Amino acid sequence: MTTDDAIRLHTLKSVQLYLDLMRAQRWDEWIDLWADDAILKFPYAPEGRQGVFKGKEAILTYMSGTTGKISVDSVADLQIYPMLDPEAATVELEINGRLLLDDTPYNQRYITIFQFKGGKIQHYREY
């Protein structure tokens, strides 16, 4: 296995672990996948909502704040695509669930782009 193949395999396994830990809301383990200076971006965040989180602390605070707000009933059509850059991957998935505050359906389709550096998530964008 070439170095690029080994890096790509690690990237793809880390993406799957990211998804598994997020679904289980195991935030203390999930945040260990991130680089200290990582950036999480939501380029299409609604007006008035923060769209960029910098650093592990800000990312963890934001994501752990979603606990108890959304119930995920299923994840469908999960596709993980490797890229030419062995430290990058794109994920496509559909989340079906509900907002716990008022039982509103929460059914979203996402595309996310992961960029790793040294085996840790450096940059994450969600569309």
- Provide the whole-model pTM: 0.90
How far apart are the C-alpha atoms of 35 and 125, rounded to whole Å? 15
Q: What is the mean pLDDT of residues 22-45?
A: 95
- Distance in angstroms (rounded) separating the CA atoms of residues 116 and 8: 10
* Residues 60-114: tens digit of each pLDDT: 999 998 888 888 888 899 999 999 999 999 999 999 999 999 999 999 999 999 9
How far apart are the C-alpha atoms of 26 and 61, rounded to whole Å? Answer: 13
Q: Per-residue pLDDT for 1 more than 70?
A: no
pLDDT on residue 70: 87
- pLDDT confidence of residue 23: 86
Give the model's pLDDT for residue 68: 85
Cβ count within 10 A of residue 65 = 10
